[in-house]
Amino acid sequence: KAGVTQTPRYLIKTRGQQVTLSCSPISGHRSVSWYQQTPGQGLQFLFEYFSETQRNKGNFPGRFSGRQFSNSRSEMNVSTLELGDSALYLCASSAPGTSGALGGTDTQYFGPGTRLTVL
Amino acid sequence: QKEVEQNSGPLSVPEGAIASLNCTYSDRGSQSFFWYRQYSGKSPELIMFIYSNGDKEDGRFTAQLNKASQYVSLLIRDSQPSDSATYLCAVGGFQKLVFGTGTRLLVSP
């Protein structure tokens, strides 16, 4: 079974521009989560989509948005880029029912990430 | 107080030794616990998950969970130089996952 794929793998943008990142989950997975990873802050949760609905959201400004399509593929958009947005953006997919416990979190598998550099 | 805490390391062990990685968390309602390995420049790779108190073994890896103490650990037996990486502890509840900042493990030949 193919893993999570993310495109593009590398991206260079300038301040003020906007960017769209794409994530295709593992076949059969309906949930996609997005994370930002920086050396200083580690892995920070952005948002999670399940069946085209945003189910959870982290503490990021409104410049960060996302969506999920009917085939479970997801996109993340960042508008008005800032230097501090330079990071590795990771998406992870999960299958329902793999949390092991009521009120848990389904097991997430990560894609290779998109390295965004803002100049 | 951070939600998930890990010692940043580096934790240095000789080849063949047991590496012990620890993690504490603050949310008592957490139900799912994961260990990921991340090599430099790569994305996190799932090693193990554990949901119930006690030990769970998978090959050279053993995860230990103590919900009363809010403590998760990962033991790596017979450590190999290829195990040198950053190990991320992740704690989940209600479909949200919170990561620690990771412990860097160095296994010397």
Mean pLDDT of the B26-52 span: 94
To probe the interface with A, which of B43, B48, B86, B94 has the most A CB atoms within 10 Å? B43
Residue A18 CB coordination number (10 Å): 11
Q: What is the pLDDT of residue B1?
A: 58
**Residue A13 to residue A109: CA distance in whole angstroms:** 27
- Tokens, residue B87: 């190990």
**Would you call A100 and B102 a contact, using CB atoms and an 8 Å cutoff?**
no
**Residue A14 to residue A25: CA distance in whole angstroms:** 28
pLDDT at residue B2 greater than cutoff 70: no
**Would you call B31 and A55 a contact, using CB atoms and an 8 Å cutoff?**
no
Mean pLDDT of the A28-44 span: 93
pLDDT at residue A116 greater than cutoff 70: yes
Burial A82-115 (b: 16+ CB within 10 A, else e): eeebbbbbbbbbbbeebbbeeebbbbbbbbbbbb
Contact residues, chain A, for B32 at CB < 8 Å: 99-101, 104-107
Task: Using pLDDT thresholds of 50, 70 and 90, give the confidence band for residue A43.
Answer: very high
